[in-house]
Amino acid sequence: MNTEPESKRGKLRLVASPDGASDSVSLMASKFVPGISVIAPPLAGALGMRTRTFLAIQLAASALWSAAGLALGMAFQAQIGLGLRTLREWGSSALLLLMVPAAAWMAWRVGRSLLTARWLAATGVGGRSC
């Protein structure tokens, strides 16, 4: 992000670009970056971007994002089909094969969180202070 005074004139710089890419390209690129896509609308409003301009850019970015997903699906059509056929053949065994590692990972995360909370309580680190 750019906090220079000229950014207050409605310019949106979400992607640092040394070649001075336009604001619309930066806003379109933000659609593909999870963290930036969340802050782009309020940032565009705060920097004074017109609603009509923002909506037009977002419409184009959404079309591009959808086209990219469709293109990936078409490019990997054979691999996706093979994966779906394999899942269909394996049936519920495939579900079990996918769920066991996911459940183990979640249990590890919960256990780690509980141990961290217990350690913080025992050492007094992170306690509330007035």
Q: For the chain, how many helices (H) and strands (E)?
A: 5, 0
77 vs 11, higher pLDDT: 77
Q: Are 14 and 32 in contact (CB under 8 A)?
A: no
Alpha helices in 76-91 (DSSP H): 77-90
Burial call 49-67: b when 16+ CB within 10 Å, e when fewer: beeeebeebbeebeeeeee
The residue type at 9: R
92 vs 108, higher pLDDT: 108
Model pLDDT, residue 99: 92
4 vs 76, higher pLDDT: 76
Structure tokens at 95: 């579900």
Cβ-based neighbours of 24, under 8 Å, separated by 6 or more: 53, 57, 60
pLDDT in tens, 24-50: 788 888 888 888 888 888 888 888 888
pLDDT at 111 over 90: yes
